[in-house]
Amino acid sequence: MRLLLGMLAAALVAPASALAGGPTLTMGEVPLHADRTTAAAAPHFNLVGLHWRGSGSVLYRTRSAAGRWGPWRAADDDGRIEHAWHLGNLDWTGESTAIRFRTRGEMSRLRAYYVWSPVEQLGARRLQIAGAPSIIPRLSWGADESIRRAPPAYANTISFAVVHHTAGSNNYTPAQSAAIVRGIELYHVQGNGWNDIGYNLLVDKYGQVFEGRYGGVDRNVIGAHAQGFNTGSVGVAVLGDYGTTSLPAAAKTALEQVLAWRLDLAHVDPLTLVPWLSGGNPRFPVGIPVVLRAISGHRDTGFTDCPGDALYAQLSQIAKDVAALGGPKIYAPSVARDAEGQVRFTARVSAAQPWTVAIVNSSGVQVAQGSGTGSSVDWTWDASAAPADRYTWTIAAPNARSATGTLGAVAALAVQKATASPAELAPGETTTLTYTLTSAATITASLVAPNGQLLAILLTAPKPAGTQTLTFTPPPGLLNGQYAIAIAAIAGTKTATASVPFTVDDILTGFSSTGPTLSYTLTRPPISVALQVLRGTTVVAVPPPPPVVAGPQTLTWDGTLADGSGALDGTYTLALTIADESATFTRTASVTFDRTAPRITVVSYRNLRFSISEPATLTLVVGTQRYTRILKKAKTTQFWLRTKPAAYRLIATDAAGNSTLVRYRR
C-alpha cells in the first residue's frame, strides 16, 4: 500500500482573495510513483473530490484548520466512469489545510480537486409550492449561473425517484449547507465537466431543501445523478454520509415531503415497481431491462454503495410514508388512441371516489366528458371525426391533483351513427334517436315528410361532443308512410348533416308477452306474419304462424326446437315479424326455460354448511322453526344456530319454482 502525503506545492494554493469570495476549485495531479511524497503546504479547502484511472481504490484523510488529522475515508465514484476516469464524489471535510492519500491496487493517475466554498448568507426568497416543503431556489443559495455549460434538457415524464447521499462528513451547520451545495455545483461543472449540478434536489440533515439542476423544480429536468437512468427520473441527494448513520428526523420528513410532492406532480404511485430500460452504465449495459422501485436508491441503478446502508434500509418505510402523505392522488394516467380514432383514457385513484375526464378544444370549449366512480378510471372518447385541432384532456377527482395533457385529432365535424329504435312505429309508440357528435355544435332536428316537406322543428339546442339522444312520438293523425328526422349540426363555419328514416304504420297495436305467449291486435289483414325463436343470434325454431286475419291475436311457442327436440334451459328471443304494403314490423320478447332444480352440495351436515349451484331461496326447517336465506348467486353458505339440530330439512327453490330437498337426521 502506497502512502502519499499530499501536502501539495504552492501551485495548488488558492488565491488569498478567494478565501473571502465565492467558491473556488483547484486541481492538482497527485504523484504516484514515489513511495513517499510530501510538500510544504496544501490549498485551503473544505470539500475534496478525487478522479483516478485504474482498477484500484484510493483513501484519503484531511487535516483540519486546528491541526488535527481526521479518519481515513474511501473515495467513492458511485460507479461513474467517464473516458476511463473514475469520478469520485465531492466530500465535505470542513475547513482543511492538508491531505494524505493511500492507494490500493492498480492506479495509473490520481487527481485531487480542492474546493473552497465559504459560508454566505442565504437569500430570503423561498419557493412555496402546494404539497412541497419550502424549497431554497438557486438564486437564494448562490448558484453561479455563468458556469452552466448548456440549457436544461427535459424528459417527457418522470417515472421514478433516485435517492442519494453526498458522502463526506455529517459535521456541518445549517449555514454551511448552502456552501456544500455551491461547492457541488462548481465540482460537477468544472471538475466533472457536466452541464450543471447533477442532482435535481438536495436535502440537508436539518430539513432544508435546495433546488438543484437549473430548469424548474416542477419540470422534468434531466439530471446527471444516476448514469443510464437520468432520463425519466428525479434525483434527490441528502447531504452527508448515511452508511451507518440513520437519517435525522428533520431530513427524513423533508425528504418524504419533497418526494411526495414531486411524485404526485408526475402521478407516480410511490409503492409501485417500474420496469425500465438502462441507458447504459458499467452494471447495466444499454437496453438491459431493470425493475426499479418508484423510490429507489442509487445502488439499484449501478455499482455503488450510495445512498449508504442506513438510508437505503429506510427507503421501504419512506415510500410507505410518502404514499400516506396528502389527500387522494391520481396515478398512472394513460392515453391510447387506436387507428379508428378511439381515444381511451385510463388511470388509478388512490381512494375510490367520483372521477371525470374532460376534453377541451383550442378555443377552451369542452367537447366531450366522461365520468364514473371508483378507484379505476376508464373512459373512451370517439374522436374518429373530431376536427383537426389541439385538444387538452384532464382527469380529475375531488381533492386530487388533476392529470392533464394534450392530443390532436384529424377529422371534420360530423354527425355519426345516427339510428332510430324502433324504426317502425305504431300510433302512440315512441322511438329513440341516437347519434354521435364529433365536436360541440348547435343541433337542429326536423321532422321530414315522405315527399321531403319540412313538417316540424323538433329541437334546436347547443350540444357537446359525444353521444346524444332524442325521443320522438308521432303526432296524432300522422298518415302511414316513411318519414325521416333530419339532423343538422353547425359549429362556426362548419356544418354536418344526417337523416334517420322511420316508418309510421297503424297495422299493429297492443303488443305484449307473457312467458312464451305473444298477444297483439292487427287493425287489418297483413301481407304476412312470421315467428322466429332465437338463441343468441341463431334461429333455433320457426313455429307455425297464425291465420293472416285482422283482430286480436295470440301466438304461443311450445318449446319445440326445429329438430323436434325440447328446448334446453336458457333464455330465448321470440321475434314476431308482420309485413304490409307500408312496412315490416318486428317486435321481440324474451322467454326463459328453467326446468333444472338447484343442486345442493352438503359441505358439513353437522355445521349446516352447504354449497348451492345457482341463485335460490333457502329454507331450513328445524321442527316448527323455519329459517330463510336468499342467495343472489351460486355460493357456499352456512346457517348459524345456537344448538346443532338433531334433524332438519333444507329446501332450495330457484326463480322458476324448481326445488331440491335435503334431509338430515343424526
Cell of 312: 437505503
- Residue 530 sits at φ, ψ, to 5 deg, of -145, 145
Position 409 scores a pLDDT of: 55
Regions of the chain with pLDDT less than 70: 1-21, 33-42, 339-340, 408-412, 493
Q: Are 118 and 182 in contact (CB under 8 A)?
A: no
Distance CA 176, CA 88 (A): 21
Q: Cis before residue 598, ω within 30 degrees of 0?
A: no
pTM, to two decimals: 0.60
The helix (H) or strand (E) run that includes residue 370 is strand 366-382
User: Helices (DSSP H) in 163-291: which residue ranges?
Assistant: 174-186, 249-265
**Residue 170: CB partners within 8 Å, gap ≥ 6?**
205, 240, 241, 245
User: Helices (DSSP H) in 266-324: which residue ranges?
Assistant: 309-324
Position 340 scores a pLDDT of: 64
| Cell 491541526 belongs to residue | 67
DSSP 8-state assignment for residue 19: G
Position 257 scores a pLDDT of: 95
Distance CA 273, CA 296 (A): 10
Distance CA 650, CA 597 (A): 13
Cell of 340: 379508428
Residue 84's CB is within 10 A of a number of other CB atoms, namely 10
Q: Are 258 and 203 in contact (CB under 8 A)?
A: yes
Position 440 scores a pLDDT of: 84
35: left (phi over 0), alpha (psi -120 to 50) or beta: alpha
Beta bridge partners of 242: none
Pick from 206, 288, 287, 218: which is nearest to 254 by CA? 206
